Structure 1
Amino acid sequence: MQYLLLCAAILLPESLAFPVHMKLEPWSNVDLEKVKVYLDKFFPLFPKTKSLTLEDRIKEMQRFFHLTVTGTLNTETEETMKLPRCGIPDIAEYQTFPGTPRWKKTHLTYKIVNYTPDLPRRKVDDAIRKALMLWSDVTPLNFQRVQRGRADIEIGFARREHGDGYPFDGRGNTLAHAFAPGEGIGGDVHFDEDEKWSEFNQEVNLFLVAAHEFGHSLGLAHSNVRGALMYPIYSYQNPTTFRLPEDDRRGIQKLYGLDECVMETRRALGSSSFQNTIEEAKNEKESVSTSQRPYKNKTAKYYLQQQQSCMTYRGQN
């Protein structure tokens, strides 16, 4: 089986994003050979596009990244080409991969094969767990960690060549990669150990990159929607307030549907207020857990009670 390789890099909502300032490769002069290499790697020619000129291909790249479409290498375009990003082609206007690979089951196992020295192990465990929860919260999927044997999603840190045919490139540029659902290496996620992994906003945030990668592990391709988790360029957002954007939610539910238990709660609450109730409930949950005060919002309380029932039903308690 041929697996689709995906790499991590995410751009989160612009109004809330704080870009990580990584050193850009210096280009003293426009190097057309480097431009061609970039375009061949990320915007390759296919039989139906093989007649495109260099100008046309630059325009394609500019449209994907929502730049000013000129067909020339202006400063904006050059700087975008130098940003740390994913190492595979960008698939514009697709939420899922060709052939729509997906897991044929909803109970998936994961295993953390090794750890980065950049963070305490418990911080890595927590980042991975929370990143997976972003996806399980909006689908019928649930994830169980295993310590031994083969897991559906195996997670590890590695440098340079690490045995899968897709070597990392050192600090910056490619941050991580993952494989689409399938047997063997399918679903696995590899993080570049040459990066400086962090819990918050120093260097590269593990939670944010992991969340993006798990989208790939579940079958999502890159999105060209600015603000989507699956957008292919890295930028920081506060992980404690991050919520899965609508574009990603639609994409993953296209593959796996909406949890029946959640759907029952939605019907009971009314679809128009459902999302607001979720946000209110999360705020209520945080404040109640710290102050032990009673819930103010009865609708939010109902949602949380139903959510607890869903987790028990799924075997997550």
Structure 2
Amino acid sequence: MEGALAVKSVMMVVIVALCGAVPTISPSQEELSKAQDYLSQFYSDLGVSSPSSTSRSALDPFEDTLGKMQEFFGLEVTGKLDTNTLEVMSRPRCGFTDVLRYGHFDGRPKWDKSVVTYRVTDYTPDLSQSVVDATLAKALKLYSDVIPLDFKQIDSDTADIMIKFKAKEHGDFAPFDGEDGVLAHAFSPGEGIGGDTHFDEDENWTLTSTGANLFLVAAHEFGHAMGLAHSQVQTALMYPTYVYVNTEGYTLPDDDRQGVQAIYGVRGTSALPGPRPAPTSEPSPDACSPGLVFDAVTFIGRNLYFFKDRHYWKRSSRWDRIVTGTIQSVWPGINKVDAAYEKGNTVVLFEGDHYWKVRGKTVLPGYPKPLTDFGFSRSVTKVDAAVHVPFKSKTLLFVGSRYWRYNEERGRMYIGYPKSINRGFPGIGYRVDAAFENRGYLYFSYGSQQKVYSSRGRERVLGILSNNRWMNCD
């Protein structure tokens, strides 16, 4: 890998899958030869001599290097090619040299910017493009949660991190080797190919324990793209070999967090070298506060979601349990929800001057889009509230003291809008923070209270509730 790659002064790393091994007590000449190749590839900086030589001076470097390998993997350090050592060597694995604890590339390369862009040029057919986008964003968020870097996906031009799914030879002088071997590789931060991340299309990419879990592999590779080398800690994300773990609620392990914070510093502090304590997470808003104000409310499936700042509360259809979490943990890339509504199996989420369409936890392809694509003028930079009224087949959107009616079938606003909120819905006031429909009634929230509104027959206010009445507060 000389020439073009060497000029760019970046180092390629790969992650691979585990496979079985056939233990043996007395290693054959073939096994000794494979061991030499293994040590030459992954411990070449230490120097390896042929194990077949009868010279004691020739055996010492081999035994010493073998001992380093045994030490790294937590094996008994014997310097001899025993059964356990052969088993570890039999596992397909990463092509980058092993290091102790968390490690960094020579010279500690890093991104000298606050926003790093990324772009996917070639997708896998194993998963939908929207699922791939959401999964990669979720993997990058592991790092942006703990270091002062943000990541932005672009769909044209050259990004800092170029991502593709390709099989065999794919243009970087490091061809992939087919299914169940090398899963992916990445380059350390830098110009040109620096940071680029490639996935082997011959693998079966999934989000489960079968095949290659894209989230786990991407999270590992993005660690290299941030400047991390490999770790000796078996529970670390940057451990050389791939092992599936439950990804529900997955956060960056301590060893990896300390390693990347040693390069960039801690999120919310200056990027000084050296490990830092874990950052404190943003506290959830007080759901039982008498002054609770909602940013948005909507049903998603059979659950009612209440949004506030970067968090949400989910009230189950059984009305007996409330779950809280961060918005980005469900929809990576969306920081805050200003307004939301559900129509069919699709949910529209508004944030600032853009909106997303999602199904479940998946952002649909092509989003976010600007509010102008929804039919608003450029003067509208934020939607305050939104609600779809299924029994009237209408969608209402609230901005300031006015509201619009949206035609879902034609994808445009109805003629004659916007109109005054106070005149269109007498009694609810002049502003709306959040709105939702439940069992034929509309709920319009402003400040810490909401008006229950009848829109069947005679339209009128039926009552007033405190927002926290939905939060199971005593």
TM range (shorter): 0.7 to 0.9
Superposition CA RMSD, Å: 3.8
SS where residue 201 of structure 1 aligns?
coil
Native 8 Å contact 2:18 2:92 kept in 1: no
Inter-partner Cα distance in structure 2 for 1:220 and 1:73: 30
Inter-partner Cα distance in structure 2 for 1:272 and 1:105: 22
Query: Which of 238, 244, 250 in structure 2 is aligned with 1:230?
Result: 238
Cα distance, 1:136 vs structure 2: 0.4
Q: For each residue in 1:223-250, what CA deviation from the matched residue of structure 2 results, as whole angstroms up to 9, or x when unmatched?
A: 1112111110110001113211011111
Cα distance, 1:84 vs structure 2: 2.5
Q: State the match for 2:142 in structure 1.
A: 134
Cα distance, 1:48 vs structure 2: 11
1:58 and 2:66 aligned: yes
Q: Which deviates more from structure 2 when the two are superposed, residues 131-140 or residues 194-203?
A: 194-203
Q: Which deviates more from structure 2 when the two are superposed, residues 76-85 or residues 131-140?
A: 76-85
Inter-partner Cα distance in structure 2 for 1:127 and 1:301: 18
SS where residue 122 of structure 2 aligns?
coil
Inter-partner Cα distance in structure 2 for 1:192 and 1:275: 35
SS where residue 162 of structure 2 aligns?
strand
Native 8 Å contact 2:18 2:241 kept in 1: no
Q: What are the equivalent positions in structure 2 for 1:67-146 lying under 5 Å apart?
A: 67-93=75-101, 95-146=103-154
- Given the two structures, how large is their TM-score scaled by the length of structure 2? 0.54
SS where residue 152 of structure 2 aligns?
strand
Q: State the match for 1:188 in structure 2.
A: 196
SS where residue 3 of structure 1 aligns?
coil
* Structure 1 unmatched runs, 5+: 10-19, 264-270, 305-310
Letter in 2 for 1:4: M
Native 8 Å contact 1:295 1:301 kept in 2: no
1:164 and 2:172 aligned: yes
Q: State the match for 2:33 in structure 1.
A: 33
Q: Indicate the structure with greater helix content.
A: 1
Identity %: 43
Query: Which of 265, 273, 289 in structure 1 is aligned with 2:314?
Result: 289
Q: State the match for 2:14 in structure 1.
A: 7
Q: State the match for 2:248 in structure 1.
A: 240
Greater radius of gyration (CA): 2
* Structure 2 unmatched runs, 5+: 1-7, 50-56, 272-276, 288-306, 329-334, 337-350, 353-474
Cα distance, 1:289 vs structure 2: 3.1
Inter-partner Cα distance in structure 2 for 1:243 and 1:219: 18
Q: For each residue in 1:230-289, what CA deviation from the matched residue of structure 2 results, as whole angstroms up to 9, or x when unmatched?
A: 1101100011132110111111111111122799xxxxxxx89946969xx9xx999823
Inter-partner Cα distance in structure 2 for 1:273 and 1:250: 11
SS where residue 251 of structure 2 aligns?
coil
Inter-partner Cα distance in structure 1 for 2:108 and 2:41: 22
Inter-partner Cα distance in structure 1 for 2:172 and 2:36: 26
Structure 1 pair 48/25, CA: closer, same or farther in 2 (3 Å)?
Answer: closer
Native 8 Å contact 1:225 1:247 kept in 2: yes
Q: Indicate the structure with greater strand content.
A: 2
Native 8 Å contact 1:84 1:234 kept in 2: no
Native 8 Å contact 1:288 1:294 kept in 2: no
Inter-partner Cα distance in structure 2 for 1:21 and 1:182: 30
Q: For each residue in 1:81-138, what CA deviation from the matched residue of structure 2 results, as whole angstroms up to 9, or x when unmatched?
A: 1212111222334521110000100201000111112122222112101000000011
Letter in 2 for 1:100: R
The structure, 1 or 2, with the larger RCO (C-alpha pairs under 8 Å, 6+ apart) is 1
- Given the two structures, how large is their TM-score scaled by the length of structure 1? 0.78
